[in-house]
Structure 1
Amino acid sequence: MKLSQSLVLPFLALFPFALSSEDTPTFGSRNIPRLLSKDVIRGTLSFPFYQNHTLLFYHEDSGEMYVGGTNFVFKLSLDRFRMLEEIHLEATRQDHCQEGPCENVITVIEKFGDSLFVCGTNGHRPHCWKLANSSAEVIADHDGTGISPFTCAQNSLSLRVEGDLYAVAPLNIDGSCLQFRRKAGSRTNVWMYDSWITEPTFVSTSWVKRKDDPENEKIFIFFREKNSDQNPEADPWISRVARVCKTDEGGSKRFFQNTWTSFLKARLVCGYPEESLYFNRLQDVYVQHEEDWRDTRVYALFTSSWNATAVCIYSMQTIEGVFDNSTFKDYDKPVPEPRPGTCVRNSRALPLATISVVRDHPEMSDWVHPVHYSAPFYVSNNNYTKLAVDRVQAADQRVYRVLLLATDSGKIHKILESGSEPFIISQTQIPSLSSIQSMKLDSKEKKLVVSSAEKIFAVDLRSCDEYNESCANCVLARDPYCSWTTSGCTPTVPEGIQNIMDGKTSVCPASTSEHNQVNRTRRDAASAADVDLLTLPPVPVGVPFYLTCPIDSYHAVYTWKHGDQSSPCLQMHSNCLLLIPAMTPESYGSYECVSEERDYSNVVKRYRLTDRFDQRAKADRGKASAVAAQTLWITLGLGVSLFSK
């Protein structure tokens, strides 16, 4: 029953919808979600009014999460997802507001011991407050210039390192003089030399600890800056990683006082070196810390001028190797001792020759390449904007990494890092009218918290009900958060059944309900027996007709089977169709929609088409009425969407 193009095209003219679109992925592609997740939102909180900017802060040690918005900070309970405490911080200097309402948009939340440090725009006069953690009472406040931006649209970052605060924020109201500084705390304020970077956009900063060597600990800064190459074919941006020593107190009173003496920067490469094709626009960074700093991994999200995004993964050992061993760009003299960028106990005593190289030649000649040297780990046409990475211990006691990527349209993709290959486990659509503004991972509770302009959502990463139909479905998901047990597909336990590496279902028990892998015929028969046979109302000869079944996995191949004949599916969003241009005597009988993925075959839908009423049709008439009505409306050209299951 193969349908020729000459027959199908006239039939499609009856239908006022498209069977393919940019949002409809193709079967068999790796860069698409296996599952379209539905019920994984485990909590929602609405803001009192639309927020132009929201900030999420998660403190791993205490498990506390705070949300900052316009004139408020509140504390979240993640187990029940409710607000525990709300703090109002309205602008304190309304006489200096120049445009619009005088608002205090919270841009910095950090925790110092028993206190909370909060900064905001404060009506274009940045200000900071120190709050008692127990009572939320303001116990100190001071000027926030250089810590918070003047408006929420300006670039800013903050990082607490022990008792000190490192920050990125402009010093001027027009957004100029944007630098990375140590700006608050018990130690000396230190800032950057003006010529080190050009029109930067700072993306992330991270403190990499060395328990056995604290004097060599460094703070890493990830940013993109204007490309000095004026060639029209060159990308206008270059992505960078820079570092400064935690012990850096600046230079002596005579030279480089209050200026970083250890600042070095290097280019982050993500692309295809053999083709000289690179993703140069760094968008987001997630640093996955490990006990041994050498094993710490940097996950970086890039975009390109050709509307594609990529994820590259870097080893901290490789990054440090470039800073420790590369030559200095455009510097051809002997390297002085100590080597420029070396962490020392007293930076004010560094010789002039060492600091001069840092001042005039801070860039390394060598580039930082990812662990998958010849290509990015993951490339997609999705416009990803946010990135987080979780570590998950599976039933086999191995630890797997799962990437969580958010798109500009509010979708979240859960992606398994399986060796050098990505596998998209699922897609979750955040039910919001605006894009995701902020995203934080609570690895202990296995929840992803995302905020939009209207709401905050908690996404349950251990939502296993989606795969609960059978052991095969649970195993095929390759989801480290879920395993098959006697209770069904549940959050992973040591005795659970999984096959994370290849997803083959041969690990499932050999029984009728679990689709015996030894006898494919028996397995398919058992699968079909579990699916209701839907007998449709009579369809006259010569009438065009269609059948539909839902797509749960884009990694599967869907086929319509009728007798000994097979026909491929025609895709429409999350449904697959079988189009019959005109009913003939041979068109009547039973149809099965079958999905095949790896070593697993499953009957998704079963239909029977007849040209006259019989006893079985009468019994199923009520059940089939919705399908008949749907067919009628579509044939009349009223464009009813197909989402039956």
Structure 2
Amino acid sequence: MKVKFALFFIWNILFSVCSLDHIPRLTLNQGDGNRLLYSQIQKHTVFFHPEGSDELFVGGTDFVYRFNVDDGLLVENFSLPTTGEQNCEENPCENVITVIQQFQDSLFVCGTNGNKPQCWKLYPQVANQSSEIIESYEGTGISPHVYTQNSISLTIEGDLYAAVPLNSDGTSLQFRRKAGLRPNVWMYDRWMTEPTFISASWVKRDKDPEQEKIYMFFREKNSDSSPEADPWISRVAQVCKVDEGGSKRFFQNMWTSFLKARLVCGIPKESLYFNRLQDIFVQHADDWRDSRVYALFTSSWNSTAVCIYSMADIDSVFENSSFKGFSEEIPKPRPGTCVPNSRALPMATIRVIKDHPEMSDWIHPIHRQAPFYISSNNYTKITVDRVTVANESTHNVLFLATDHGMIHKILEDDFKPFIISETHLTNLSAPVQSMKLDSTKRKLFVGFPEQIAQLDLQRCQDYNRSCEDCILARDPYCAWSQSGCTPVSQGGIQNLAGGKTDVCHKNNDGKKRKKRETPSSSVDPPEAAYSVPLGVPFYLSCLIHSHHASYRWEHNDHTSQCQQTESDCLHLITAMSEDNYGRYRCVSREQDYTMIVKAYELNPIQAPENQKNAVTQVAAQRLVMTVLVPALIAVFYH
């Protein structure tokens, strides 16, 4: 009984914070274009794509592909089968590529190599010669032994950092500086409990590079084993880029600047929290304090939330919070401070790092009262683009991948979400393995087991029916101009804040033109005429374009709500009578815009009794099989 009440309570809270804006306004299909197909199904892939480049490197099983993203062609195929002696008794003897990073003078590629990780250097092609692969060195600590093991990696100024298990059984998982110009550094074993690393990010400080830090985002096992406690706690940790470990006497080759803090995402007044961090996107700004962290969380009741954090707030907790479990005077320099020579740090400072690395204060999102976005969708990946719009202001757009391979495009409007669209990239319900945003090219590369899909972020043709259609979309990439709904250009018409369409009826001086009469559809649709015998069942339908609009049927002086499926608004007539003849209009209303979607005229027809019966049977079968059954199924599953 308590469990049922708790679930009821939770869902009431979730529905109270959700609204129509939490439903995708449009449902779109990518189509068959802009796809790069693999020769065989891939169980794991990894992308490497420099911003603005025409090259996309894709690592799979025993290969690295190099694609030209502008023409969609495969440029090179590098074969990387297992080499040397392997231990493939429990796992297939294959080389699954898990790391592709730009490292020093080459592209660094690492893979499982039949349970014996190996790395290679890929030197770019020169003139007309092909690229060259040279076997480099043993890759333990850079690539996992098995692709399903947790791992992350990044390169910073000639150094390579990674978090992977050192052992084939998945143990000894920690974040290390593994190769490069600075000394190798690793973690103290007691700092984390069964962690799952999500991401790591280097936050640059152009005016103070000696204070630059690397932030790790992860979740770890909760020490609180009570039934009410979530088994996981989400965290962010820091280390200094200049950290080279302690002295030979104490903490040699171990991080001397490691600190961690709890990430909070939830509704505090209801004690409702999302504790399982799933994905991270760090949006860097010119001033590092303005950088944002977009975090994707899930919960034990199968809901997803997005919380947004300020990098200034994260750094403030590390610089000002007390240390959990430490009550003595804080030594100087303060533990976690970046210093030019970490090997000269006093033992008192390092002991606090060793025994009390957790901050007492929690890190709260910039919208403290509730997550930016809560959904019943199971999202798996997140990325965020910053878009300059027609009036030169900037807006953020989130792209969230569902576990069924769909992409939700969400406008961040003054800390409120507006779901612009849901795009189906493939006919198959497949998980997204990799996702990479190219803001310069306005493309999103999405990796599936069977293909790579390119999503054009400027799909303005989807809202090109009228100025009102373009405005209602509230898509920062698109604006209305003399050429229709096109990618944003100076002088284009937009209204992202509210989506009101009255901006379409203003002159260049800002004054309103004469209002159109309602309905305000720019062009009324042609009227479809049907002759229908008396007594037969019949139905009318019109296509639902926007899921944010309300639809109704108008017939003579009567108005009725439609019977709505996922894609159609229906009007069902069980048996035609004299009162059912006449004109019908399917009318949609969204914001301040009313539009006639479809128009019909039903006329009587006199038919012989035997023909009437035959028509009645055929019409009834048509109604049941093509309308009622699909409608009931849609309603049931919805």
Q: TM-score when scaled to structure 2? A: 0.90
Provide closer, same or farther for how the CA distance between residues 471 and 304 of structure 1 changes in structure 2, counting only shifts above 3 A: same
Pick from 604, 611, 617: which aligns with 1:611? Answer: 604
1:552 is aligned to 545
- Displacement of 1:112 in angstroms is 2.5
Matched, 1:193 2:184: no
Alignment of 1:95-494 (within 5 A): 95-134=86-125, 135-431=130-426, 432-494=428-490
- Displacement of 1:434 in angstroms is 2.0
Contact 2:29 2:425 in 1 (8 A): no
- Displacement of 1:69 in angstroms is 0.4
2:530 is aligned to 536
- Displacement of 1:94 in angstroms is 5.1
SS at match of 1:633: helix
Contact 1:264 1:362 in 2 (8 A): yes
Provide closer, same or farther for how the CA distance between residues 209 and 636 of structure 1 changes in structure 2, counting only shifts above 3 A: closer
1:620 is aligned to none
Distance 2:606 2:124 in 1: 74
Provide closer, same or farther for how the CA distance between residues 299 and 139 of structure 1 changes in structure 2, counting only shifts above 3 A: same
Moved more, 545-554 or 591-600: 545-554
SS at match of 1:465: helix
C-alpha RMSD of the superposition: 2.2
Matched, 1:79 2:81: no
SS at match of 1:322: helix
1:505 is aligned to 501
Distance 1:35 1:631 in 2: 32
Matched, 1:38 2:33: no
Tell me the alpha carbon deviations over residues 71-125 of structure 1, each in whole angstroms, 9 at most, x when there is no partner: 1111222222222222111110354322354210000000135410000000000
Tell me the alpha carbon deviations over residues 276-332 of structure 1, each in whole angstroms, 9 at most, x when there is no partner: 110000000000000100000000000001111000000000000000000000110
- Displacement of 1:382 in angstroms is 0.5
- Displacement of 1:41 in angstroms is 6.6
SS at match of 2:246: coil
Tell me the alpha carbon deviations over residues 387-419 of structure 1, each in whole angstroms, 9 at most, x when there is no partner: 000011111111110000010011100000000
Tell me the alpha carbon deviations over residues 516-550 of structure 1, each in whole angstroms, 9 at most, x when there is no partner: 974352x52765x6301111231423x33322111
Contact 1:40 1:459 in 2 (8 A): no
Contact 1:385 1:407 in 2 (8 A): yes
Distance 1:137 1:351 in 2: 48
Provide closer, same or farther for how the CA distance between residues 129 and 559 of structure 1 changes in structure 2, counting only shifts above 3 A: same
SS at match of 1:508: helix
SS at match of 1:524: coil
SS at match of 1:345: coil
SS at match of 1:59: coil
Contact 1:42 1:459 in 2 (8 A): no
SS at match of 2:604: coil
SS at match of 1:341: coil
Distance 1:597 1:50 in 2: 43
SS at match of 1:253: coil
2:566 is aligned to 573
Distance 1:72 1:630 in 2: 57
Distance 2:404 2:545 in 1: 21
- Displacement of 1:579 in angstroms is 2.2
- Displacement of 1:638 in angstroms is 9.2
Provide closer, same or farther for how the CA distance between residues 517 and 538 of structure 1 changes in structure 2, counting only shifts above 3 A: farther
SS at match of 1:531: coil
Moved more, 179-188 or 573-582: 573-582
Distance 1:237 1:370 in 2: 19
Tell me the alpha carbon deviations over residues 447-484 of structure 1, each in whole angstroms, 9 at most, x when there is no partner: 11001111110001101111010011001101011111
Distance 1:631 1:311 in 2: 48
Provide closer, same or farther for how the CA distance between residues 158 and 525 of structure 1 changes in structure 2, counting only shifts above 3 A: closer
SS at match of 1:30: helix
Distance 2:346 2:54 in 1: 44
Moved more, 35-44 or 437-446: 35-44
Contact 1:314 1:369 in 2 (8 A): yes
Distance 2:108 2:520 in 1: 64
Matched, 1:48 2:39: yes
Distance 2:145 2:346 in 1: 38
Tell me the alpha carbon deviations over residues 481-534 of structure 1, each in whole angstroms, 9 at most, x when there is no partner: 1111111111111121111111111111469xxxx974352x52765x630111
- Displacement of 1:146 in angstroms is 0.8
Moved more, 382-391 or 61-70: 61-70
Distance 1:387 1:144 in 2: 29
Moved more, 576-585 or 104-113: 576-585
Moved more, 37-46 or 596-605: 37-46
Distance 1:364 1:56 in 2: 35
2:57 is aligned to 66
Provide closer, same or farther for how the CA distance between residues 612 and 603 of structure 1 changes in structure 2, counting only shifts above 3 A: same
Contact 1:539 1:609 in 2 (8 A): no
Tell me which amino acid in the other structure corresponds to 1:633: R
Identity of aligned pairs, percent? 57
Moved more, 275-284 or 432-441: 432-441
Contact 2:297 2:304 in 1 (8 A): yes
- Displacement of 1:613 in angstroms is 7.1
Q: TM-score when scaled to structure 1? A: 0.89
Alignment of 1:20-35 (within 5 A): 29-35=20-26
2:3 is aligned to none
Moved more, 105-114 or 403-412: 105-114
Distance 1:639 1:554 in 2: 21
Structure 1 unaligned segments of length 5 or more: list them.
1-26, 615-627
Contact 1:28 1:555 in 2 (8 A): no
Moved more, 383-392 or 36-45: 36-45
Tell me the alpha carbon deviations over residues 220-254 of structure 1, each in whole angstroms, 9 at most, x when there is no partner: 00000000111110100000000100000011111
2:8 is aligned to none
Tell me which amino acid in the other structure corresponds to 2:66: K
Q: Which has the higher contact order (CA 8 A, sep 6+)?
A: 1
Distance 2:620 2:440 in 1: 49
Contact 2:210 2:242 in 1 (8 A): yes
Tell me the alpha carbon deviations over residues 255-291 of structure 1, each in whole angstroms, 9 at most, x when there is no partner: 0011100000000000011111100000000000001
Moved more, 278-287 or 136-145: 136-145
Contact 2:390 2:479 in 1 (8 A): yes
- Displacement of 1:173 in angstroms is 0.5
Provide closer, same or farther for how the CA distance between residues 548 and 129 of structure 1 changes in structure 2, counting only shifts above 3 A: same
Contact 1:284 1:302 in 2 (8 A): yes
Distance 2:29 2:240 in 1: 46
Distance 1:433 1:49 in 2: 17
Pick from 560, 583, 591: which aligns with 2:576? Answer: 583
Distance 1:630 1:183 in 2: 72
Contact 1:28 1:554 in 2 (8 A): no
Distance 1:630 1:182 in 2: 72
Tell me which amino acid in the other structure corresponds to 1:33: P
Moved more, 96-105 or 551-560: 96-105
2:519 is aligned to 524
Moved more, 354-363 or 566-575: 566-575
1:564 is aligned to 557
Contact 2:86 2:116 in 1 (8 A): no
